[in-house]
């Protein structure tokens, strides 16, 4: 039985016979068994990959869908460049900074920023979560309305600190961090995802080191999303913060973002 670094057993399931070959390919790629007892299953359905906790009291499956559901609603009705996350990363008239989202998760924040015109590199270190995100990006690429957005999103699998320290190519103007701890978002969606993810991911106890690395690589600013009442990440102090009802964006300014050509 395959176990991730936190000792949680996961298996691969195909939910229809015609998906067996593709499911076997995912299993081989991720090192997952296809039989036996497990606490979690990565399932391949006609609708794509999904991760589910197994058991009678378990919440529903977690998947990435950039075309329909909550993410699509936010894209269409979420307030555009007036959203707090847009202000936090410095989006303004004539400014669409290049962004590195070093804690990508399911890619929701990265998708919002890409939908506003930013080029977004994403890093996700948990292979199962990265697989969900990769699958969601591939499916979104077939939708004519969403494909131009996801074309601005690029996924990297690995440890964010290592990848940042060894970054090749053009440096990102903004690095965005949303550490796993100590989130206390009470929405049903986030509660379900946290219940599934917490045993697989654990807490981001290396957040101070990640912040320090980000401050060395970003050219213009680092933004850290926190629960509104949570302490700042240990290390350098933010220059200022933007506060919402449940979240806060701590901003570490390095250089002023200005429109191209100015």
Residues tagged in the binding site annotation for S-adenosyl-L-methionine: 108-109, 124-125, 178
Which sign does the torsion angle of CA 93, 98, 100, 105 carry?
positive
Q: Are 180 and 201 in contact (CB under 8 A)?
A: yes
* Token pair recorded at residue 172: 């990102």
Q: Are 223 and 233 in contact (CB under 8 A)?
A: no
Annotated binding site: 108-109, 124-125, 178
* Token pair recorded at residue 229: 């009442």
Q: Are 223 and 198 in contact (CB under 8 A)?
A: no
Give the CA distances from residue 110 to residues 17, 40, 124, 151, 183, in Å, rounded to whole numbers and listed in that order. Answer: 34, 26, 12, 12, 18
* Token pair recorded at residue 16: 């229809």
């Amino acid at each position: 039985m395959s176990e991730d670094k936190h000792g949680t057993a996961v298996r691969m399931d195909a939910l229809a016979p015609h998906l067996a070959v593709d499911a076997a390919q995912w299993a081989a790629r991720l090192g997952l068994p296809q039989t036996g007892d497990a606490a979690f299953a990565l399932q391949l359905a006609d609708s794509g990959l999904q991760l589910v906790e197994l058991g009678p009291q378990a919440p529903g499956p977690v998947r990435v869908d950039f075309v329909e559901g909550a993410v699509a609603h936010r894209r269409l009705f979420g307030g555009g460049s007036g959203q707090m996350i847009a202000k936090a990363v410095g989006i303004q008239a004539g400014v669409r900074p290049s962004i590195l989202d070093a804690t990508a998760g399911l890619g929701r924040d990265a998708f919002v920023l890409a939908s506003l015109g930013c080029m977004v590199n994403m890093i996700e270190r948990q292979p199962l979560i990265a697989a969900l995100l990769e699958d969601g990006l591939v499916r979104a690429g077939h939708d004519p309305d969403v494909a131009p957005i996801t074309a601005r999103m690029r996924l990297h699998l690995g440890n964010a600190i290592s990848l940042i320290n060894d970054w090749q190519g053009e440096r990102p103007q903004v690095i965005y961090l949303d550490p796993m701890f100590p989130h206390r978002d009470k929405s049903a969606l986030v509660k379900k995802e946290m219940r599934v993810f917490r045993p697989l991911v654990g807490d981001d106890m290396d957040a101070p080191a990640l912040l320090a690395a980000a401050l060395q690589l970003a050219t213009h600013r680092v933004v850290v999303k926190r629960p509104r009442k949570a302490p700042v990440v240990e290390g350098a102090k933010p220059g200022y913060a933007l506060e919402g009802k449940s979240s806060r964006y701590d901003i570490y300014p390095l250089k002023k973002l200005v429109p191209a050509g100015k």
